[in-house]
Structure 1
Amino acid sequence: MFGFLLCLVILIAGYFTYGKFVDNTFAPDDRETPAVAINDGVDYVVMPAWKLFLVQLLNIAGLGPIFGAITGAMWGPIVFLWITFGTIFAGGVHDYLSGMMSERENGASISEVTGRLLGPVMQNIMRVFCVILLIMTGTVFAVGPAGLLKALFTDTGMKSGILVNSTFWLAVILVYYFIATFISIDKIIGKIYPVFGVALIVMALGVGGGTLILRGKDIPELFTHFYNMHPAGKAVWSYMFITVACGACSGFHSTQSPLMARCMKSERQGHFVFYGAMVAEGIIALIWAAAACTWYTGADLLAAGGGNSTTVYFMSKSTMGGIGFVLAMLGVIACPITSGDTAFRSARLTICDWFKIDQQGYGKRLAVCIPVLGVGALLGFGQTFGWLNYNVIWNYFAWSNQTLAMLVLWAGAMFLAKEKKNYWIAAVPATFMSAVTSTYFMMAPETLGHIKALNDNHAVAYPVGIIFAAFCLCLFMVNSKKYRKA
């Protein structure tokens, strides 16, 4: 238990120390923000800092810090270290820089921001990459809750009817997604997200408190379990670093930060909104990882399929009783929905930034919303009716997510170099994530690991990861030289 509590204290302290150091390095000032200068009443709307924080938290969280952290617990308490230090030195920096760089670029989507820093080729790659990733994320976060809602009503004893039809729930969710993507950000997202954000926090605190009070001494001690406990022998490097993304470092967050960058009244809110929300997500992930280590063995988690609705239900009910079931339902149904709608909204904004489409008029907004949600509906209903199975594609999401984080961190390093500021706060985690993603790509079964000779071949993957990371760092140093010496 001491190791868990120590990590919790370090996380909180990290916000006030390293987070403030990052903020001071960026040096926010009193310039007019996009929300004030543009204020179109649709995407650029001034919102209070507390609301920005809660909306940002729910945008980036969803199920990531719950399911991912629970699955990460299969490696044992060492996952606490990745959540803690990954949040402080990688995830927090990534989220802060992605939001603040967007704010400096009039709230531009992350694909536009990185393109202006890393070149036109990377800009076009990022545009396509982000749109595909966002639509895929939004679709999966529609299909999943639809199935859970069907299961919920089935569990109540309902045998037939529209409420036990997942297709009906999918249609309802997609209609909601269309509305949330189309209308002003403060009409739905700005009003209901803070409520669900509070529920997400209360849910985590309830599970954490219940675990400490009811079985606090059973939390495996980090210092006596400092080894790989994965029951299938999956290597810590780099599988754990890919599995636990949200709650440590996640590229998806960079697609969400521009939403709040368009709603800040002052640049000085960035530390609280971006870095603060990431630390809050790290705390949530740390609590769920500790609870999973306490209530399950690694073998039990592997048998249960890692983080999913079943494991969440069990831990919620075990620690909070009846109220835990209600909060668990909010967690596994509402949270993915609230990440899905902002995923589609971000896809709309990315496309509009790409093709310079003004979004104040209803007609132009509809012209983008309809095809974006249409593709999502086609994928969603295709999965439901068996026309299309994109599970294989979805297996690439985890690697794609961390690859995006790597690229955004390199863009952040280039931005800081251009501004004559301490670029190492971004370059070091960027190098680390370059090694993580390239190592995983070389040996994971979802990527090159499907080749028998490369599957889980550490002798090949580890050196390649190191070489690739070193190459990326050298490439950055060469390309940033013009800024560093100017």
Structure 2
Amino acid sequence: MFYFFFAVAALITGYFVYGKIVESSFGVDTCRATPACRLADGVDYVKMNPKTIYMVQLLNIAGLGPIFGPILGALYGPAALVWIVLGSIFAGAVHDYFSGMMSVRYDGKSIPDAVGHNLGKFAKQFMNVFSVILLLLVGVVFILGPAKLLAVKIGFNLDKNMAVVVWTGIIFAYYFLATILPVDKIIGRLYPLFTACLLIMAFGLSTMLIVDGYTFFPNGVGLANVHPKGLPIWPLMFITIACGAISGFHATQSPMMARCIPDEKCGRPIFYGAMIGEGIIALVWATLGMTFYQTPEALQATLASGGPAAVVDQVATTLMGPIGGFLAIIGVIILPISSGDTAFRAARLIIADFSKVEQKSIAKRLLIAIPLFVIGFIITKTDFNIIWRYFGFANQTLATIVLWASAMYLVRHGKAHWIASVPATFMTAVCATYLCVAPEFPLHMSADYGYPIGIAVAAACFVWFMLAARNTPVEVDAVDSPGVIG
């Protein structure tokens, strides 16, 4: 139990200490008018209450990732908690803060524009394509996941497959409305209510572990790999536990709230703080996986029978009874739905920014939204496990690119870049190694070759960055200047 609460305390301390360092490094300017004030359009640029924005941001970023990922990560043992804490403080929250605040400085533009300003035109075009693909994968993952859970709980007296189809259609309809309506009409009003279910899920389940007398981490708190299948911690755990530690998906979400914040000082609690909140959710589910199930083999058996959704259902119903368990399940369902709708919305905004199609007119919004949803529907016909696998890699790759862009942003403003360049180098090693050794990719090398190559790629990227940084002039105000690389 001490280990769990120590980890939670470390995350909270990280927000107040390291979060302040990150904010100081960026250099907030409370006298600078934010995009919500300068570019208000009543649709996407809408000034909102900071507390509401925080709740929207938390629900935007906290999809299935901080639940399903940590459950799968729990198979590796307590090392998962170390990654969640360190990753959230030094990588994930830094990534989220800079993706949000760079967008604030770039008129609320989507993340491809922020990357392009700092890494050049090629990086911008690559990010335009890569981000939309990732968002479509996220949107589909966050339709199928909750649809399967809802089909189990509310099946309309249909067989399970048909119930999944019905719920998929209902969720699709909601996503469509949330994508085209003004941000304060559905998202701004419903998300604060959804937060109540989120709190019941996170705090209720962890409290019941204590009340019911469970022994936290019955197999000890050592960092040895205990995965039943012997899968290696490096790099698999760092891809599996994505959203609970660092997630490129968040970079696609932060600009939406960057268009709504009334003051730059709101950036730390909204962007850095929401990631710390997601880290706590991830800690809860990793701890549940290692505590509710007395052995990794027991957890693996439940996963084999029905995936992470079966774990969620069993844990919630057992710990909180039928009613409490149902509320907890609703919280788990709301998390992905409240990220899936904004995934499609973010895709619409990225395409609109790229194609320079104004979005105040509903006809122009429909022009982009309808084809997006047609493609999303087609993707739902693909096997869920395959989609999830590619989502994990794409997610971490996007996060890595955004961290490199953040590091260059600091260079261009005459600031120390280490808070971004160090995690960027680490994540480059993770992604490059995974690309080499993962069975779903063509290379599929042995660890003897894949590990050194992954490390070498990361080292090469760091050297490239340092050389580029040396040749990059410091600008008094670089917010409107193009990048110098690419």
TM-score of the aligned structures, taking structure 1 as reference length: 0.93
Query: Is the CA contact 2:108–2:259 (under 8 Å) kept in the aligned structure 1?
Result: yes
Q: CA deviation at 1:327?
A: 2.2
How far apart, in 2, do the equivalents of 1:59 and 1:20 lie? 23
Q: Deviations over 1:316-373 (max 9, x none)?
A: 2232223332223213322221111100000000000111111111221111111111
* 1:159 shift after superposition: 4.7
Q: Residues 463, 271 of structure 1: CA spacing in aligned structure 2 closer, same or farther, 3 A cutoff?
A: same
Give how far 1:78 is off: 1.2
Verify the 8 A CA contact 1:78 1:222 in the aligned structure 2: no
Alpha-carbon distance in structure 2 between the residues aligned to 1:221 and 1:263: 46
C-alpha root-mean-square deviation of aligned residues, in Å? 1.9
Asked if residue 464 in structure 1 is aligned to residue 458 in structure 2, the reply is no
Q: Pairwise mapping of residues 397-416 of structure 1 onto structure 2 (< 5 A)?
A: 397-416=391-410
Deviation string 1:204-262 (CA, Å, 9 cap, x unpaired) is 11111111232353334764x22111111111111101100111011111000001000
CA contact (8 A) 2:56 2:187 kept: yes
Q: How does 1:69-88 map to 2 (within 5 A)?
A: 69-88=70-89
1:252 aligned to which of 249, 252, 264: 249
Q: Distance in 1 between matches of 2:390 and 2:217?
A: 33
Counterpart of 1:94? 95
CA distance in 1, matches of 2:128, 2:220: 41
SS for the counterpart of 1:236 is coil
Contact 2:99 2:402 in 1 (8 A): yes
Q: In the TM superposition, what is the alpha-carbon distance from 1:485 to its structure 2 partner?
A: 6.7
Could you say which residue in structure 2 is the equivalent of 1:66? 67
Go from structure 1 to structure 2 and tell me whether the alpha carbon gap of 1:149 and 1:202 turns closer, same or farther (over 3 Å shift): closer
Asked whether 1:240 is paired with 2:237, we answer yes
- The normalised TM-score by structure 2 is 0.93
Is 1:431 the equivalent of 2:425? yes
Q: What residue is the counterpart of 2:266 in the other structure?
A: 269
How big is the shift at 1:113? Answer: 0.9
Q: Which residue of 1 aligns with 2:467?
A: 478
Q: Deviations over 1:10-34 (max 9, x none)?
A: 1110000001110111111120000
Which secondary structure does the structure 1 equivalent of 2:235 belong to? helix
Within 5 A, what are the aligned runs for 1:191-206?
191-206=189-204
Deviation for aligned residue 1:164? 5.3
Q: Identify the range of structure 1 (301-310 vs 128-137) with the bigger mean alpha-carbon deviation.
A: 301-310
Matched, 1:24 2:57: no
Q: Which amino acid aligns with 2:339?
A: S
Mean Cα displacement is larger for which, 82-91 or 20-29? 20-29
> Bigger shift: 304-313 or 404-413?
304-313
What letter is aligned with 2:362?
A: Y
The answer to whether the Cα contact below 8 Å between 2:200 and 2:328 also exists between their aligned partners in 1 is no
DSSP-derived class of the 2:254 partner: helix
| C-alpha distance in structure 1 between counterparts of 2:77 and 2:384, whole Å | 31
Q: Deviations over 1:141-181 (max 9, x none)?
A: 22332333333234x8x2579x9533332222211111110
2:481 corresponds in structure 1 to: none
1:286 partnered with 2:259: no
Deviates more, 1:136-145 or 1:299-308: 299-308
- In 2 relative to 1, CA 428–160 (structure 1 residues): closer, same or farther, beyond 3 Å? closer
Residue 390 of structure 1: how far off its partner (Å): 7.1
Counterpart Cα distance in 2 of 1:46 and 1:447: 44
Aligned to 2:128: 127
For residues 207 and 143 of structure 1, what CA distance do their matches in structure 2 show?
24
**Equivalents in 2 of 1:378, 1:108: separation in Å?**
28
Q: Name the SS of the counterpart of 1:321 in structure 2.
A: helix
Superposed, 1:344-383 pairs within 5 Å as: 344-380=344-380, 383=381
Amino acid in structure 2 at the alignment position of 1:400? A
Question: What is the alpha-carbon distance in structure 2 between the residues aligned to residue 429 and residue 159 of structure 1?
Answer: 48
Counterpart CA distance in 1 for 2:383 and 2:225 is 34
Query: Kindly tell me: are residues 53 and 443 of structure 1, through their superposed partners in 2, closer, same or farther at Cα, counting changes over 3 Å?
Result: same
> Does the CA contact (< 8 Å) of 1:178 and 1:369 recur in 2?
yes
Match of 2:337 in 1: 337
Q: Tell me if structure 2 keeps the 8 A contact 1:83–1:248.
A: yes
Aligned partner of residue 305 in structure 1, secondary structure: helix
Q: Which residue number in structure 2 is paired with residue 177 of structure 1?
A: 175
Within the candidate set 396, 399, 416, 2:390 is matched to 396
Which sits farther off after the overlay, 369-378 or 436-445?
369-378
Structure 1 residue 391, shift from structure 2 partner:
5.0
Shift of 1:313: 1.7
Unaligned runs of 5+ in 1: none
* Matched residue SS, 1:100: helix
How far is the alpha carbon of 1:59 from its aligned partner? Answer: 0.4
CA contact (8 A) 1:33 1:265 kept: yes
Give the Cα separation in 2 of the matches to 1:470 and 1:137: 30
| DSSP-derived class of the 1:246 partner | coil
